[in-house]
Amino acid sequence: MKISGVKGMNDVLPAEVARWHEMEAVARDVFALHGYREVRTPVVEPAQLFARGVGEATDIVNKEMYVFEDKGEELLALRPEGTAGTVRAFIEHGAYVEGPQKWFYMGPMFRRERPQKGRYRQFHQIGCEAFGVAEPFVDAEQIALLDGYLARLGVRAELRLNTVGDASCRPAYLADLKAWLTGRKAELCPDCNDRIERNPLRVLDCKTPSCQPVLEQAPRLLERLCEGCAAHFAQVKAGLEALGVAYRVDPRLVRGLDYYVRTAYEFTSDALGSQSAVAGGGRYDRLVETLGGPPTPGIGFALGEERLAMILEKAGRAPQERRPAVFFISADAAGALEALRRAAALRREGIACELDPRGGKFKAQFKQAERVGARYAVVLGENEVRSGEAKLKDMQSREETPVALDALAARLRG
């Protein structure tokens, strides 16, 4: 019986993995340049962590979390996002005593969403969290980091920027927003109606076309920010301008949870279709406290690797797989054994090489050399073993040059 993979959970096959390696290697490099250090946390956490750390009012926790019981112990969950676990680890290990910290993570996340293009049930995020700095230039630095990361990969994405205020300006605004939305209830979609009471800010984020003209007219927090939030926002923008990062202020971009404050941002790409966000982030100055740590401001983002891979694929950027420098072709039993030995020796020297352990016809072996993209082929048989000399055949030009087998490594490196 054939067993298929779980719906919404994808295999990344070897030909595609090279792209993932590139996304991750560039991330590690860019993050290290900015002082972000990697943290690895479990994919399973107490369900309670996400209820508190992401919020019970969110779809992610409310509807989409994979929750299970571990033999009568506390309820566990597959992590739906990376921030809550990172913050838990930050608190649990007392990392805050060392002052401001910049951490990053990468790995699989799980949400029971309706699978569609760009939306999966297991997907992968790369995320950064900067703890301990409330000042706006850390926001600008982090946004510029993400912008620079995407640029390094040749991706052009639009940066949308907003502020969601804080405890001094948001509550009064929310009350007005709720009243205003309630008055326009009939014109809004069922999802919006659902959210008016629970999470009115999220209504602004609705993507349903018929809601757009209504929501465009909704009252805007941007016009009613308190002094502190207005100053913070101005400084974030000034920082981005100083760093040459282009942005568009989008007054309807939100982060729907109470502990999110001030800066909210998202990078979107037309290449993605309806699920257009490749990364999103925001400031969460009360999250560490909410999860039982000392008051510690923070700001973070998460980027979707599947979506980034889609953009790269669409842009026609071929994944760069490492190809063998040389493919050994065996002419007889002595050659086959020599090929095995020579390949091992070259690999010890850091040179990728390949052979066909099945031996067989020359033609089939050459075909195999072509298929794996080898740069050169070397035929080995009794004669070559005896003389220590062989021919190095350029697989592209078909040109053959003599080479001493002991000089192969130097030759391939040169």
**Using CB under 6 A, which residues numbered 354 to 383 contact ligand AMP?**
none
Residue 377: name the closest of 333, 324, 322, 320 by CA.
324
CA distance 409 to 64: 54
Give the single-character DSSP code of 327: E
- The least distance separating ligand AMP from the CB of residue 306, rounded to whole angstroms, comes to 5
Characterize the bridge pairing of strands 277-283 and 261-268.
antiparallel
Taking residues 176 to 215 in sequence order and writing x for each that binds ligand AMP by CB under 6 A, - otherwise, the string is ----------------------------------------
Size of the site for ligand AMP (CB under 6 A): 17
| CB within 8 Å of 54: residues ≥ 6 apart | 60, 61, 80, 81, 83, 84, 257
Q: Which amino acid is at 244?
A: G
Alpha-carbon 179 to chain mean position: 38
- Told to check if 16 binds ligand AMP by CB under 6 A, we report no
CA distance 130 to 142: 8
**Virtual CA dihedral for 141, 145, 151, 157, nearest 10 degrees?**
-80
Task: At 128, give phi and psi (nearest 5°).
Answer: -120, 140
- Told to check if 307 binds ligand AMP by CB under 6 A, we report yes
Choosing from 20, 103, 104, 123, the residue that interacts with ligand AMP (CB under 6 A) is 123
- The least distance separating ligand AMP from the CB of residue 303, rounded to whole angstroms, comes to 6
Choosing from 85, 165, 280, 298, the residue that interacts with ligand AMP (CB under 6 A) is 280
Characterize the bridge pairing of strands 122-131 and 101-110.
antiparallel
- The least distance separating ligand AMP from the CB of residue 264, rounded to whole angstroms, comes to 10
Task: For residue 56, give Cα distances in angstroms to 174, 202, 256, 295.
Answer: 18, 14, 11, 21
Task: For residue 147, give Cα distances in angstroms to 243, 251, 266, 279, 287.
Answer: 10, 20, 10, 10, 25
Which lies closer to ligand AMP via its Cβ, residue 54 or residue 331?
Answer: 54
* Binding piece for ligand AMP, criterion CB under 6 A, among 182-190, 276-284, 373-381, 393-401: 276-284
CA distance 159 to 250: 9
- The least distance separating ligand AMP from the CB of residue 309, rounded to whole angstroms, comes to 10
Which lies closer to ligand AMP via its Cβ, residue 308 or residue 355?
Answer: 308
| 178: exposed, middle or buried (Cβ count in 10 Å: 0-12, 13-18, 19+) | middle
Residue 390: name the closest of 370, 405, 373, 400 by CA.
405
- The least distance separating ligand AMP from the CB of residue 129, rounded to whole angstroms, comes to 12
Tell me the residue nearest to ligand AMP as measured from the CB: 304
- Told to check if 34 binds ligand AMP by CB under 6 A, we report no
Which lies closer to ligand AMP via its Cβ, residue 293 or residue 304?
Answer: 304
- Told to check if 279 binds ligand AMP by CB under 6 A, we report yes
- The least distance separating ligand AMP from the CB of residue 123, rounded to whole angstroms, comes to 3
* Binding piece for ligand AMP, criterion CB under 6 A, among 117-125, 221-229, 292-300, 324-332: 117-125
CA distance 6 to 113: 13
* Binding piece for ligand AMP, criterion CB under 6 A, among 84-92, 256-264, 271-279, 371-379: 271-279
Characterize the bridge pairing of strands 376-380 and 389-394.
antiparallel
* Binding piece for ligand AMP, criterion CB under 6 A, among 111-119, 210-218, 367-375, 378-386: 111-119
Choosing from 16, 22, 113, 313, the residue that interacts with ligand AMP (CB under 6 A) is 113
- Told to check if 224 binds ligand AMP by CB under 6 A, we report no
Taking residues 62 to 81 in sequence order and writing x for each that binds ligand AMP by CB under 6 A, - otherwise, the string is -------------------x
List residues binding ligand AMP (CB under 6 A). 81, 111, 113, 118-120, 123, 125, 277-280, 302-304, 306-307
